[in-house]
Chain A
Amino acid sequence: MRTRVLSLVTIVALLWASPVFGQGSKWDKHAPPKKADISCQTCHAGSAPTRTNPALLPCPRSRILPGFHPDQSGPEVLIMSKVSKEYGPVVFSHKLHADMSTMSGGCYGCHHYNSTSMAILSCRECHPANRARTDISMPDLKGAYHRQCMDCHRQWSKATDCQSCHLKRDARQSTEEALQAARLKGKSHPELAVPKRVVYETRSQRGSFVTFFHNDHAERFSLECSDCHKSESCVRCHERTPGGKASPDPLSRTVKTQRTMEALHAPCFSCHGQDKCEECHVDQPREAFDHAKSAGWALNRFHRALSCQKCHGQSKRFTKVDTKCVTCHKGWTPGTFRHEITSLKLDPAHRELDCESCHIDGNFANPPSCAGCHDDKAYPAQKPGTTVKAAAK
């Protein structure tokens, strides 16, 4: 009986170790990809992929998990020399290209597939180096490299000549390679000049001008460039001529719209979807928003630094806020308010007074009045204290 139990235990143990039961073992499981929109079925057919039989589907390039590493740890310059026979190697400015890709898909634009090991895979891990092969489901290494590069390069350089990337195969090749590598090391894409105001001359029948205050949107709503600019091409800034020079004044310009109606409105509609056409479409380009003009109350240096929501609340349509300080600054009393931040340090006699003694009706927009107590004094000729250098809040 005892031997029977023992052998049963052994059989069960053996079965457990076998691949049939081994699906739950450590090496078969990997941490699920970090991006929530990818399920196991994105990559694997069936519900129980194993290490020996991962049942991988054809690469779903557009919906694949990206690599993970901080931007700075990528290589600066790479020398690609593995596949080129007819031409010399390519000195590839990886960092420069990574900078440029921020607004067109980022790292994932090229590194479209990564294993679950979290290490960045090189192209040749998946794309075979030989063109004559049995698995032709994905391009070979030469094809993969060129496809990656040429769609952008065709658009801005209008050329497909090999020498614009490849070095010449000659005696100077290695010198040239070192020179180019040195030149590109540490090079970054110049910081982009952020446009302030862009006027779109649209094809709309009513109100053909749409004025877009780019900086207002970006600063006020703390947007990253890539929040809106997801798939930009180089030609948006670089002129459509060979050489790709930057266009003259990208900061303030008028552009004629060419894209489809849907494509043009998509970035705006994420917030302005409910707005009427004439909110944006008007007959003339608009001037920049000026708080003094629109609200009749100029913002001081402290208020200018605030976001609109700080005073006007979270609602999309901002409503008028009265100009009394205590509407917002509820804790301000003569004891707690440091008057020197207004550049005026009150003398001991005035420090104890209520705010309304000088600021009539608590309206701080108007100049203070001395008439309540003094017949012979007037602000600003006489001051109830000393002028100081504006203190920080």
Chain B
Amino acid sequence: MKAQDRRSFLKTAAAVGTAAVGMGTATAAAGPKNILSPDRMGVLVDTTVCVGCRNCEHACKTAHDLPTEPLSSYGDRSVFEQMRRPDDTALCVVNEYENPKNADLPYDVKVQCMHCDHPACLSACIVGAFSKEENGAVVWDTDKCIGCRYCMAACPFQIPAFEYHKALDPQIRKCDFCIERTTKGELPACVNICPVEALTYGPRDEVIRIAKQRIRTYGDRYVDHIYGEHEVGGTSWMYMAGRDFKDLGFPKLGQNTAPGVSEAIQHGIFAYFMPPVALYALLGAIMWMTKTRKEEGL
């Protein structure tokens, strides 16, 4: 393939740039949809109840048209021998950890997108493909996505995955909170299939209330911490556990929102158009100084 010459590349780039600016003015006022509804939904994952049957993994793949083995094959517990991460072929995975209180009842932890209240992916996305929906779901528009993978770098839980193996039209994949199902009034596929209802779906406030109730009633079963209630400013998916969360593969995160930090720096620098003004002022000053020096030299 012959490389395109510099002139024609610049021409195309200029044309695309103009078009983008034109479109930008039409949509810029709206910005990416980022709703923090008081009625947003949440899921409580009780890792002390989960039995690690992995039916959720199967239901998830089926609901998202991903290739999967038959459900009967999911009983194979050898998969727990290594820690797994969600990727473009499996939007949620279950990992197993030792239970120091009872070796026969290990803790199983389902991992998927946490659907942050203040999503870092949404903030990082340069084309505004991400949105936080009314029901709490953090979803993205594949038509807008340009595959820059900033969302992957921004996510504090390292959830968004990229279809690296696809040469044509690779996409970002992650849990979408079964937005298609929930808009139809159905439960997320994983919540629906869970045999022990380790996943409780309901309004986020109600879910937190129930979690606190459980900790009060069964104090010796749980650690007194609901992971996701405050982490990175709160998440839609929240976890209860029988041992410290750091031992169950959860990252230790503060209560500040993830985009809060990055946006503060970015917006601070670019406030009042400061960097360009400063740059041009500097260049102007240099020009003026060299000009006077030349005049003096004459």
Chain A residue nearest to B49 (CB atoms) is A147
Count how many pairs of residues, one from A and one from B, have CB atoms less than 8 Å apart in the complex: 72
> Looking at the complex, which one of A137, A142, A240 makes contact with B210 (CB distance below 8 Å)?
A137
A150–B202 CA distance with the chains assembled, in angstroms: 24
Task: Report whether B104 and A146 are in contact in the complex, using a CB–CB cutoff of 8 Å.
Answer: no
Chain A residue nearest to B55 (CB atoms) is A162
Residue A233 interfacial (CB < 8 Å): yes
Task: Report whether B72 and A163 are in contact in the complex, using a CB–CB cutoff of 8 Å.
Answer: yes
Q: Mark A350-390, 1 if CB is under 8 A from B, else 0.
A: 00000000000000000000000000000000000000000
Q: Mark B201-220, 1 if CB is under 8 A from A, else 0.
A: 11000110010010001100
Q: How close is B122's CB to chain A, nearest CB, in angstroms?
A: 28
Chain A residues lying within 8 Å of B72, measured Cβ to Cβ, are: 161, 163
Q: Which of A152-160, A278-286, A307-315 contacts B (4 or more CB under 8 A)?
A: A152-160
Residue A61 interfacial (CB < 8 Å): yes
Of the candidates B49, B191, B196, the one having the most CB atoms from chain A within 10 angstroms of its own CB is B196
A146–B102 CA distance with the chains assembled, in angstroms: 19
Within 8 A of A (CB), among B144-199: 185-187, 191-198
Chain B residues lying within 8 Å of A155, measured Cβ to Cβ, are: 102, 104-105
A160–B213 CA distance with the chains assembled, in angstroms: 28
Residue A19 interfacial (CB < 8 Å): no
Chain A residues lying within 8 Å of B207, measured Cβ to Cβ, are: 136
The interface on chain A, measured as residues whose beta carbon lies within 8 A of the other chain's beta carbons, has a size of 29
Within 8 A of B (CB), among A29-84: 58, 60-62
A376–B187 CA distance with the chains assembled, in angstroms: 104
Residue A103 interfacial (CB < 8 Å): no
Chain B residues lying within 8 Å of A240, measured Cβ to Cβ, are: 104
Task: Report whether A143 and B75 are in contact in the complex, using a CB–CB cutoff of 8 Å.
Answer: no
Chain B residues lying within 8 Å of A159, measured Cβ to Cβ, are: 75, 77
A377–B184 CA distance with the chains assembled, in angstroms: 108
Residue B136 interfacial (CB < 8 Å): no
A144–B197 CA distance with the chains assembled, in angstroms: 8
> Looking at the complex, which one of B195, B201, B206, B218 makes contact with A146 (CB distance below 8 Å)?
B195
The interface on chain B, measured as residues whose beta carbon lies within 8 A of the other chain's beta carbons, has a size of 31
Task: Report whether A143 and B105 are in contact in the complex, using a CB–CB cutoff of 8 Å.
Answer: no
Residue A140 interfacial (CB < 8 Å): yes
Residue B35 interfacial (CB < 8 Å): no
Within 8 A of B (CB), among A116-164: 131-132, 136-137, 139-140, 142-144, 146-147, 150-151, 154-155, 158-163
Chain A residues lying within 8 Å of B75, measured Cβ to Cβ, are: 159-162
Q: How close is A151's CB to chain B, nearest CB, in angstroms?
A: 6
* Residue ranges of B at the interface with A (Cβ–Cβ < 8 Å): 49, 51-53, 71-72, 75, 77, 102, 104-105, 185-187, 191-198, 200-202, 206-207, 210, 213, 217-218
* Residue ranges of A at the interface with B (Cβ–Cβ < 8 Å): 58, 60-62, 86, 131-132, 136-137, 139-140, 142-144, 146-147, 150-151, 154-155, 158-163, 233, 235, 240
Q: A58-B213, A86-B71, A143-B196 are in contact. List 11 more A-B contacts (CB 8 A).
A: A58-B217, A62-B218, A131-B192, A132-B201, A139-B197, A142-B195, A147-B49, A147-B197, A150-B195, A155-B104, A160-B51
| In the complex, the 10 A-B pairs of residues with the closest C-beta atoms, listed nearest first | A143-B197, A161-B75, A155-B104, A160-B53, A146-B195, A136-B202, A139-B197, A146-B196, A160-B51, A150-B51
Q: List 22 A-B contacts (CB under 8 A).
A: A58-B213, A86-B71, A131-B191, A131-B197, A132-B186, A132-B187, A136-B201, A136-B202, A136-B206, A137-B210, A140-B197, A142-B197, A143-B194, A143-B195, A143-B198, A146-B197, A151-B105, A154-B51, A161-B75, A162-B53, A162-B195, A235-B104
